[in-house]
A and B are shown apart, each in its own frame.
Chain A
Amino acid sequence: MQSFTMNESFPMNAWYAAAWDVELKNDLLPRTICNKPLVLYRKKDGTPVVLEDACWHRLLPLSKGSLSGDTVVCGYHGLEYKSDGRCSYMPSQETINPSACVRSYPVIQKYRFIWVWMGNPALADEKLIPNMHWNDDPEWAGDGQMIKVHCNYRLVVDNLMDLTHETFVHSESIGDRNVAEAPFDVHYDEKTATVTRWMKGIQPPPFWKGQLNKVFKHNGDVDRWQIIKFEAPCTVNIDVGVAIAGTGAPEGNRSQGVNGYVLNTITPSTNQTCLYFWAFSRNYNLKDQSNTTELKNGVARIFAQDEEILEAQQKAINANPNREFYNLNIDAGAMWARRITDRIVAEENK
């Protein structure tokens, strides 16, 4: 019986965010994804490339070498590889060994991220990239970061699927008793799980009070929402916001409110590290660049608190190898997310 707590598995047939678009230049960038060392770069025309980061010959990471135009030159014996992974030069011989290549991975730039497909390349379909359009949409403004977290990616998904923790981890900004006490609904389908929590007629926490005031000059009660949507295996987009209490937000009229999306996609790097890409996008005050910076810095501070908790949790899991988590009512969203991912992994390995 597979341990629930120690289950670190992930599907291979999925798009994983490998980098922010701005990270990728005509320069070699090493990244480990799904336990596989990769080297990323952009061709001169801007097209992103992802190759296996091990020379076909003696396995030196190609990221230790150099780029010559669009061609990767191994830093050991100078074998050269085209952007499709085919070897195009071998020293001291007139021919090239026909099997000489490094694996090249399907890659797409979308929603300001570089997405790589680690599994069967025949199944790589752009339509399967999780919808994160808020990160690249003129109706929305925002920015984000990538942090390398020393824990399994599932622990981050757990964290995002249950925002009760805001009350205790982020009490000075977004967390208050209302989050911990409001009821919530959980729904799921084959690929997604959604946790919906409405907190009606409450005093907003400091962060949301400040945001609402940028648009509405309102100091009274609000209706607050958190709609957390997980898309397997590792994307969690959270629809958050507040509206002036009683103006119809729960029924669908959000015109008297402010709305943000916390966009998260957590790429498994090794079994116990992940690349956590996040962004915060808002639909108000769109032209205010300082608001973007302020929000990015604010969320970064909040996520640094999560990072500390998650890394400590991973250490505690490792230190208690025979222990299993207890699960509570609040974990329903996280439990569905794990079950959906487990099914996809099992399907892939059957």
Chain B
Amino acid sequence: MRYRNTWENAVVGKMEKVAENVMEIQLIPEHGTAVFTVGSHIDISVLINDVPEVRSYSLVGQYEPNSPYTIAVKRLSESRGGSAYMWSLKEGSRLQISQPSNHFELSFNSSDYLLIAGGIGITPILGMAEQLIAKGNKNVRMLYLGSADYEMPYISRLQKMLGKQITLNFSNVNGSYNVSKVIDLCNEKTQIYLCGPIRLMNAVRKTWEEGPFENSNLRFETFGASGLFAPQDFLLKIPRFDLQIEVKKNKTMLQALEEAHVEVMYDCKKGECGLCQVDVLEYSGDIDHRDFFFSESEKGENNKLCACVSRVANGHIVIDTAYRRK
């Protein structure tokens, strides 16, 4: 469900570091907190090089009347600039936020749930766990995966709530978690809610698609923010317009094209709808497909990419757009 954003002023409340590089930020909207369901996010107007852009952040925990919205922001060295802006805020800073909306709704119609969070992907998952546990009659398990315990927020809160039902994996100690085990934890009733970096999401999706259970029982959310490679500058050529652009590491290909007045259709800007797809004519290095529109086999062909999120690492790319002059 998609809703038009209505923007309102908000003031930053308490800011607290809840893990290495993770800042929990409370936001107090001018007209009071709106009721939201777990899995919801808000959009925030962030300033990147003084230019406003929109970033989405999941709300942490459940709605409570008169409590501020809580988000948690990971500072990413390879950020497009959103996290740096959020970290620059201070208590009392003012900013513009949208109403909450939910593209990652938890259904209560099953009896068996597996919640999978990778790193900062814990933010929408935490409230889900709280509500499912509060229901009392649900079998709930959680996998919380990360690189190191000190970088993963809310561990003790989750352990208290979930006891033996939570499995933690710290790749600096245990090595990376073997995702193919996920199927063994599930049955035909299990609903999976997944949020995390793209490598984890792709691995779980692949395992799930090859497994015996309903595809629609795996639900995930992404804001198109992560890829297989750290963002780098790369050279973009569009021979139809005789253009050559440098795409900076903190810009998307779509932004670079727009700034060069090359028109591309787009909508979601998070790699879901596929409207911003462009033809790949030639490339070097690796295409970092960060979208969820193309299938794995389509990505393997490297004939098209979603300009809103996907990038090139260690190379350059030559593309064509949909423009055809008669």
Contact = CB atoms under 8 A, between A and B. Distances in A.
Contacts of A106: 108-109
Given A93-B293, A98-B221, A103-B1, 14 more contacts: A84-B109, A84-B216, A85-B107, A94-B294, A94-B298, A97-B272, A99-B2, A102-B1, A106-B109, A120-B35, A120-B37, A121-B108, A122-B135, A348-B35
Interface in A99-138: 99, 101-104, 106, 120-122, 124
B105 A103 contact: yes
Contacts, number: 69
Given A56-B1, A84-B109, A122-B134, A350 B104 contact: no
Chain B CB within 10 A, most for which of A86, A95, A99, A350 = A99
Given A88-B215, A124-B108, A101 B295 contact: no
Interface in A132-178: none
A60 to B, nearest CB: 14
5 contacts: A85-B107, A88-B215, A98-B221, A99-B104, A104-B109
A59 to B, nearest CB: 9
Interface of A: 52, 56, 82, 84-88, 93-99, 101-104, 106, 120-122, 124, 348, 350
B274 interface: yes
The 8 A-B pairs at the shortest CB distance, nearest first, are namely A99-B103, A94-B295, A86-B216, A122-B131, A97-B272, A350-B65, A84-B107, A95-B295
Nearest to A49: B109
A296 B137 CA distance: 40
B273 interface: yes
B131 A88 contact: no
A97 B292 contact: yes
B293 A86 contact: no
A98 B66 contact: no
Contacts of A121: 37, 106-108
Chain B, interface residues (CB within 8 Å), range:
20 to 34
A98 B219 contact: yes
Interface string B75-88: 00000000000000
A43 to B, nearest CB: 12
Chain B CB within 10 A, most for which of A84, A96, A103 = A84
A121 B62 CA distance: 12
B294 A350 contact: no
Contacts of B106: 121-122
B222 interface: yes
A350 B66 contact: yes
Contact of A99 (B63, B134, B221): B221
A87 B272 CA distance: 14
Contacts of B108: 106, 121-122, 124
A17 to B, nearest CB: 20
A103 B293 CA distance: 22
Contacts of B65: 350
B222 to A, nearest CB: 7
Nearest to A350: B65
Chain A CB within 10 A, most for which of B1, B104, B134 = B1
Contacts of A102: 1
A57 to B, nearest CB: 10
Nearest to A119: B35
A327 to B, nearest CB: 31
A101 B220 CA distance: 12
A97 B293 contact: yes
Given A350-B65, A350-B66, A95 B107 contact: no
Q: Specify the main secondary structure of chain A where it touches its partner.
A: loop
Interface in B65-118: 65-66, 103-109
A122 B1 contact: no
A52 B1 contact: yes
A106 B65 CA distance: 23
A263 to B, nearest CB: 28
A100 to B, nearest CB: 9
Contacts of B103: 98-99
B293 A95 contact: yes
B38 interface: yes
Chain B CB within 10 A, most for which of A97, A98, A104, A121 = A98
Contacts of B135: 122
Contacts of B216: 82, 84, 86-88
Interface in B282-299: 292-295, 297-298
A95 B37 contact: no
B109 A95 contact: no
Nearest to B101: A99
B294 A122 contact: no
A93 B272 CA distance: 11
Contacts of A85: 105, 107
A88 B214 CA distance: 10
A103 B105 CA distance: 8
Contacts of B131: 122
Contacts of A124: 108
A35 to B, nearest CB: 15
Nearest to A92: B274
Contacts of B66: 350
A85 to B, nearest CB: 7
A101 B103 CA distance: 8
Nearest to A117: B108
A99 B41 CA distance: 12
A83 to B, nearest CB: 8
A75 B75 CA distance: 45
Contacts of B221: 98-99
Contacts of A101: 1, 105
B132 to A, nearest CB: 9
Chain A CB within 10 A, most for which of B65, B66, B109 = B109
Contacts of B63: 120
Contacts of B274: 93
A179 B321 CA distance: 80
B107 A98 contact: no
B292 A98 contact: yes
Nearest to B35: A120
A88 B105 CA distance: 16
B220 A98 contact: yes
